[in-house]
Amino acid sequence: MNEPTKISSGNSPAGVTPGIRLSIATAKPTTHMAEPILTRVSGVIDFKLPRAGTLLPDMDLQALRAVASRLGIELAPAQIQALTAFVTDLYATNQTTNLTRVPEGEADAMHLADSLLVAEFAKRHARVLDIGAGPGFPAVPLALCRPDLDIIAVEATSKFATFLSAHCPTNVEVVNGRAEELDGRETVDLVTGRALAPLGIQLELSAAWCKVGGLVVPFRTPAEREACATINIGVLGLRLVALEERQIPGTDVVRLFPVYEKVRPTPAEYPRPWARIKARPFSARLPKPGSS
């Protein structure tokens, strides 16, 4: 088995300190992706269908289509094929390597549609960072549905980064490393992440990456509304500008997106080393139970 290869400074994303990038050669061959799903042609993403004979029956992807149509995104058949192939390979690999606990029947709503909800916060051609992408959420559905975006997926755990490297569209750069150890300060228009860490930790991991004027929009839940509104993260250079709730179509699950604008550069001491982030995280000033 090949050793993982270092990202050379020549091909690392602009402003990102080289970390570990997994060589595609180390990944298992995929069952359906005989050819790359996407290729970049002079800055435009060109969708390629798999070779004849490898076409999968399309999943209906009703929830994903509903979010796409709400956002005015028309999904071409090649995009549906690519999303279907990704989900099929995720669950095939999940039989031997634990990548997700969401049942396959819920993947359309709970993985694809949920991931795409964050697309509304990404302006055209934005550079987007997904911290803790796991096997690819939200990075992969976002990349396949919004080929104009340039996405970096930072993932600390090798088994996820390996899967992701072997399955990511060409507009996703996978970095196997920890967000707080990589240097990509002020290089990204939108920083997001789903199920990454408690709110204060997620915001500290995210803030420095975001350009002034850009947005940090973590995936949170409505139960955290007050925490999102009161958390004291001004020192990170962030300011809350909106709290947006979106229902996942076909479910009663509601996603909360607190929208933080980066209003000032994040001081150089943030993010702190992981041990200190964990020991003293930023936390919300919630009223004591019973007071009010």
User: Which residues in this chain contact ligand SAH in the complex, by CB under 6 A?
Assistant: 131-134, 137, 154-157, 160, 178-180, 194-197, 205
Contacts of 107 (CB under 8 A, 6+ apart): 87, 90, 91, 100
**Residue 96 vs 292, nearer CB to ligand SAH:** 96
Helix (H) or strand (E) holding 65: helix 62-70
Least Å distance, CB 196 to ligand SAH, is 5
Alpha helices per DSSP H over 157-286: 158-167, 199-207, 225-230, 274-279
Residue 231: what are its φ and ψ, rounded to 5°?
A: -60, 135
The smaller minimum CB distance to ligand SAH, of residues 49 and 256, is found at: 256
Indicate the residue among 193 and 214 with the shorter CB distance to ligand SAH.
193
> 132 vs 169, which CB is nearer to ligand SAH?
132
Query: What's the Cα-to-Cα distance from 214 to each of 16, 73, 207, rounded to whole Å?
Result: 17, 22, 10
Closer to ligand SAH by CB, 254 or 286: give it: 254
Whichever of 50 and 159 has its CB closer to ligand SAH, that residue is 159
The distance of closest approach from Cβ of residue 197 to ligand SAH in the complex, given in angstroms and rounded to an integer, is 6
Where in the chain does DSSP place strands (E)? 5-6, 20-21, 38-41, 44-47, 127-131, 150-155, 172-176, 188-192, 210-216, 238-247, 254-262
201 in Cβ contact with 131 (< 8 Å): no
Task: Output the smallest distance, CB 159 to ligand SAH, in A.
Answer: 9
Min CB(77)–ligand SAH separation in Å: 26
- Angle at CA 216, nearest 5°, toward 212 and 219? 175
**Number of C-beta neighbours around residue 167 at 10 A:** 23
Provide the minimum distance between the beta carbon of 42 and ligand SAH in the complex, in angstroms, as a whole number. 32
| Shortest spacing between CB 259 and ligand SAH, in angstroms | 19
Q: Which residues contact 34 (CB under 8 A, 6 or more apart)?
A: 50, 51, 54
The residue (of 89 and 180) whose beta carbon lies closer to ligand SAH is 180
CB of 219 to ligand SAH, least distance (A): 7
Least separation in angstroms between CB 96 and ligand SAH: 18
- Cα→Cα distances 39→52, 70, 167, 172, Å: 18, 27, 13, 12
| Rounded CA separation 168/250 (Å) | 27
Nearer to ligand SAH, 125 or 278 (CB): 278
